[in-house]
Structure 1
Amino acid sequence: MAAARLLKGFEVEMYTGRPDGQVVGCAAEAAAALADFVTEPDNRNLEYTTPPEPSYRHQLELLLEPRRRLRAWLAPRGLTLLPGSTLSLGDSHRFERSAPENPYHDTIEAAYGTRVVTASVHINLGIEAMQPLFAGLRLLRCEAALLLALSASSPFLDGESCGVHSQRWLQFPLTPPQVPLFTDHAHYIRWMEEQLAAGAMFNVRHLWTSVRPNGDDRPHDLNRVELRICDLIADPLELLAVTAFAELRLQRILRDPEPHDPLMCSRLGGAELAALADANDRAAARSSLESTLCHWRDGRPIEARRWLEQELTELAPLASELGLSTALSPLETLLEHGNQAMRWQKRHRRGESIAAIVASAAAELAEREEQLMAWLATDASHALR
């Protein structure tokens, strides 16, 4: 079963800070001291990646091990890891450079300021053949709002409630502002070259959109689809569940493209689909699971939670066949009780301060990681294959 699964890997961005929830930047120092960590332009968050691996159990190990090392380095400094995808307790009015001498960071700060100072997780799923890759890209682009609805974790900024579920996605500078639904690899290459020639992108990495092709030599050498829309999913099992959902959507289109490729079976044209997808992304950023989206098949309105429930029901046989039912199971609880942003907002409406919410969530995350590392040492963990 595992051989049929896609390779997958993660790029995880996280804030560092005090146990009371206040962000404290130390990315440059941490990256210099620890292997496999890299800085972001702002010093308050840093990133680590996991190597390609089809097994969900092995990816859980790969997600936890760098955090274990990082926490051991942070602890003597009185620091910890903070959940959430925006500067919940501030200060978003200043940029705290991790590498003041880096000219690319000069450009980023001048162009965007602290709109880019966010934390997220990028999910990479391996597909090497170009026609299936772009078909999968189109499907995930049209359903990216569902993934944001599951992952939203940024309802606060600068100590205030933003009234939305993903402040990160609403503030992040999507670049270029309009991206087409690519018909094939040649279309993607041509469009990328046009954007670079026009100065709409600084380099080939500067395609900041919900989902994009990825590879060692973009735009020519591609081998994976990269989901960039998700807020930080701090709980590793919830992250793996969202990944399993995305993989199952890709597995379905790989097996039977015609009924699942938006360009082949939607009543809408390519330009309409791209506009619909972007509008859905914004709606999901505002209300996540409670948002009203427009289905890519025919434009009809549907609540995000209901759309997800329908898809999970239809995907259940394939999940069982591929041994992904266990990996997928946390989504049931997430749909019932809400994503992290919804849970945090509920606590805030009950009168709990944002500082208290973030501080308790940071402590809960550390405890959760300890529980998962202990679980990996048991035979029961092999249920996650």
Structure 2
Amino acid sequence: MRTFGVEEELLLVDAASGVPRALAPDILDRFGHGDREGFALEAEMQQEMIEVVSAPCTDRLDMLRLMRAGRRAADGLARDRGARAVALASSPLPVRPHVTTRRRYQAIAEGYAGMARTTLECGFHVHVGISDPEEGVAVLNRIRAWLPVILALSANSPFRDGEDTGHASFRFVAWHHWPTAGPIDVFPDVEAYRAFERELVATGAILDTGMLYFDARLSHAHETVEIRIADVCLSAEDGAALACVIRALVDQAADDWRGGVPPLAASTAAIRLASWMAARHGMRHHLVDPTTGTARSAGSVVDRMLAWAGPALRRHGDEDAVRHALRDIARRGTGADRQWAVHAKTGSIAAIVADAAETTQGRDRA
């Protein structure tokens, strides 16, 4: 079975006020280096966030266990400092982030100035194992048009800097200020993909390939494809379900490639528009059906995606659990819908953060 692992970026907030706090260096010092029980904690660009990295696994329940354990560990260390580790993809309350004092992050902050200094967005990255880069590029070609659906299902950032943005995923909007973020074209082979990477790095506008923030890319650190489009999910259960869907998309794409099935005929510009629609509305409105290029109800597009990935889901033993989980998201809403509901009930943005802190740990305050 194909391995997969996740990287969850969590927001570190004051337990009383909900305002982000620059606690990552302290938490990482106390956690130490290396894996612990199948996960690690790592620094990110801003000190107000921390990344939980799971070990590779093959089983859905193992993935869920690792995600829960990583969230619990990060939150426990944050609580020791009067804070919480919260799965929110952007800060609902205003904040002036503090760039992590590592040479790389300082160089990015210097090169990108105010844009880098104000970026505080928490994503959900899924690494899926591949046999070689050739398979990886073939997979990227065949999953690219489905990634806006993943964004819609994960949407969890409607409030930012004290305002309701009206977007289910404003993280997507903010993150796409970075010049390399977004969808990429279809590539005929690995060499064409690598040439594209070299072309972008050669401009001098980015430090290296680590700043190629594509929606999905070949990893330079692991033998994986890395899918980066999603918001961090409010609940670990939703995140684990989406990780399973993403693995199935990769597996089915590899099968299609070996079977001679060409990629869907979707332009990069059309995929960008489909992603914007997903970010704007989440699961509340229409999504673009990649098989037709036209807008349809969000639920029907999710069903179309599950139908395509169905053989891979069945092969992994995930089909029933994943279908149930995605139907549950469609029924009760995404993390963005929950944030909107809490705000409608309380009128308080701080209450959104407090509710999210409990939901991150699996405790539903509804």
Cα displacement (A) at 1:326? 4.8
Cα displacement (A) at 1:147? 0.5
Query: 1:347 aligned to 332, 342, 363, which one?
Result: 342
Contact 2:139 2:253 in 1 (8 A): yes
Residue correspondences, number: 352
Mapping of residues 216-365 of structure 1, within 5 Å: 216=221, 223-257=223-257, 264=262, 266=264, 268=265, 273-313=267-307, 315-316=309-310, 318-328=312-322, 329-350=324-345, 352-365=347-360
Contact 1:175 1:206 in 2 (8 A): no
Superimposed CA distance per residue, residues 339-358 of structure 1 (whole angstroms, 9 cap, x where no aligned partner): 11022223334453221122
Unaligned runs of 5+ residues in structure 1 are 217-221, 370-385
Query: 1:17 aligned to 13, 21, 28, which one?
Result: 13
* CA distance in structure 1 between the aligned counterparts of 2:115 and 2:279, rounded to whole angstroms: 20
Over aligned residues, Cα RMSD in angstroms? 2.5
* CA distance in structure 2 between the aligned counterparts of 1:356 and 1:157, rounded to whole angstroms: 14
* CA distance in structure 1 between the aligned counterparts of 2:295 and 2:196, rounded to whole angstroms: 31
Contact 2:72 2:361 in 1 (8 A): no
Equivalent pairs: percent with the same residue? 22
Query: 2:43 aligned to 28, 39, 44, which one?
Result: 39
Contact 2:154 2:230 in 1 (8 A): yes
Superimposed CA distance per residue, residues 35-74 of structure 1 (whole angstroms, 9 cap, x where no aligned partner): 3322222110011211211122222232233333333322
Partner of 1:65: 69
For the structure 1 residues 256 and 109, does the alpha-carbon distance in structure 2 shift closer, same or farther, using more than 3 Å as the test? closer
Stretch deviating more after TM superposition (200-209 or 314-323)? 314-323
For the structure 1 residues 319 and 25, does the alpha-carbon distance in structure 2 shift closer, same or farther, using more than 3 Å as the test? same
1:131 alignment partner, SS class: helix
* CA distance in structure 2 between the aligned counterparts of 1:197 and 1:358, rounded to whole angstroms: 42
Cα displacement (A) at 1:254? 2.3
Say if 2:121 is the partner of 1:123.
no
Partner of 2:81: 77
Partner of 1:376: none
Cα displacement (A) at 1:100? 6.9
Q: Give the TM-score normalised by the residue count of structure 1.
A: 0.83
* CA distance in structure 1 between the aligned counterparts of 2:304 and 2:285, rounded to whole angstroms: 15
Q: Give the TM-score normalised by the residue count of structure 2.
A: 0.87
Superimposed CA distance per residue, residues 88-130 of structure 1 (whole angstroms, 9 cap, x where no aligned partner): 1112xx3312217654243365162345311111111111233
Superimposed CA distance per residue, residues 114-152 of structure 1 (whole angstroms, 9 cap, x where no aligned partner): 453111111111112333322211222211100000001
Cα displacement (A) at 1:273? 1.7
* CA distance in structure 2 between the aligned counterparts of 1:285 and 1:246, rounded to whole angstroms: 18
Query: 1:89 aligned to 79, 90, 93, which one?
Result: 93
Superimposed CA distance per residue, residues 343-380 of structure 1 (whole angstroms, 9 cap, x where no aligned partner): 222333445322112212212333449xxxxxxxxxxx
